[in-house]
Structure 1
Amino acid sequence: MDQFASDNLYETRNNLVKELTLLSDVQFNSKLDKNMWSIAQVCHHLVLVEEASIKAIAWGLKETGITLIERKKIQPILLDRTKKLQAPKIVEPDVEPFEVQQIIDLLNDSRKKLMTFLSTIDDKSILAEKSMKHPALGELPLDQWIEQIYLHEQRHIEQIKEIKLLLDARR
């Protein structure tokens, strides 16, 4: 993994945690509408996506042979919030309420698992040479699986900011 991706993972996660730290547990679990996720659920979804991404990358690395696949422009897809993406069941959040600190701990744990896993890959160039099917983006080189983690997180940070504004407006 290159320094750019590592820096983006770090910076994006810090921005996410900053958005959460001043929230009460009530705000954190408040839903604007029964069909929308709370901020807590958005964050739980991010934890689940990160953990699923580790599994997908590990699975892709086990595949034999090189599967050079064309790189996709995933940034415009993931950051365009006018286009709703359906979360696969495996990364749908729990409906139970969470505490802010509990989610921050889960986020820290999933990021630590990701960074530890990535540190075990001796030859990082293999990440550009192997691919795995992503549920929303199709076949992606494994290094773009890493990229999609922080881009996906950036997408949801914007959603969290929006939810916070709407919750404040209700008061």
Structure 2
Amino acid sequence: MEINDQAREELLTEISGISDENLNKKPSSEEWSIKEIVEHLYLLESNVAMMIKQNAEKGENATVSHKPIEATVNRDVKVNAPATALPSDKFASINELEEKLSTSHQQLEEVEKGVDVQLLKQKAFPHPAFGLMSLDQWIPFVGYHEKRHILQIQEVKQKLGL
């Protein structure tokens, strides 16, 4: 969870001090607001925690190769978010977002601490870009994914003049 904790600290620093109005402002109709990016992050983290827990208990054993999850940070490669991690267009405050980020992070930590490491290495779940990926790689993937979106938040802040 080291990369995840580091990314979360960076994320909270990046969004700190932004007004609720600016958090919810889109740079254009085709782009996500900072709020939507953050919502996507906590939805994905919660979904991954739930998926790992379910597959660690009931998933079949699978032998998969190590995936280059560090490449997730590369924003030149576009990957569409799964429907379960798409943000809503509802207004949200910084306090709401921080609370949901804390909850989702806690969920992933609990799964990581509560499931045997060997079990995580023996089970797998498909990723849209990397294919079948071991459950133990899904945990740090969340951190790299968050770092990717921190870069997106920086781009949105620049476009909004923040």
TM-score normalized with structure 2 length: 0.94
Whichever residue aligns with residue 40 of structure 2, its letter is H
Shifted more, 103-112 versus 61-70: the winner is 61-70
Matching of residue 164 in structure 1 with residue 148 in structure 2 = no
**Does 2:141 match 1:144?**
no
1:9 alignment counterpart: 4
Cross-structure match for 2:33: 38
Q: What stretches of structure 1 move > 3 A for 4+ residues in a row? A: none
Match for 2:89 among 80, 87, 95?
A: 95
Could you tell me which amino acid in structure 1 is paired with residue 47 of structure 2? A
Query: What letter corresponds to residue 126 of structure 1 in structure 2?
Result: L
SS in 2 for 1:132: strand
| Letter of the structure 2 residue corresponding to residue 88 of structure 1 | P
Aligned residues: 162
* Residue 70 (structure 1) aligned to one of 65, 69, 76: 65
RMSD: 1.4
- Secondary structure of residue in 2 paired with 1:125: helix
Q: In the aligned structure 2, how far is the partner of 1:41 from the partner of 1:72?
A: 27
Q: Which amino acid aligns with 1:115?
A: E
Question: Could you tell me whether the CA contact under 8 Å between 2:20 and 2:94 is conserved in 1?
Answer: yes
**Cα distance in 2 for residues equivalent to 1:108 and 1:114:** 10
Residue in structure 2 matching 1:61, options 56, 63, 67? 56
What's 1:3 paired with? none
Identity of aligned residues (%): 29
Question: Is 1:27 paired with 2:30?
Answer: no
> Structure 1 residues 65, 93: CA separation in 2 closer, same or farther (over 3 Å shift)?
closer
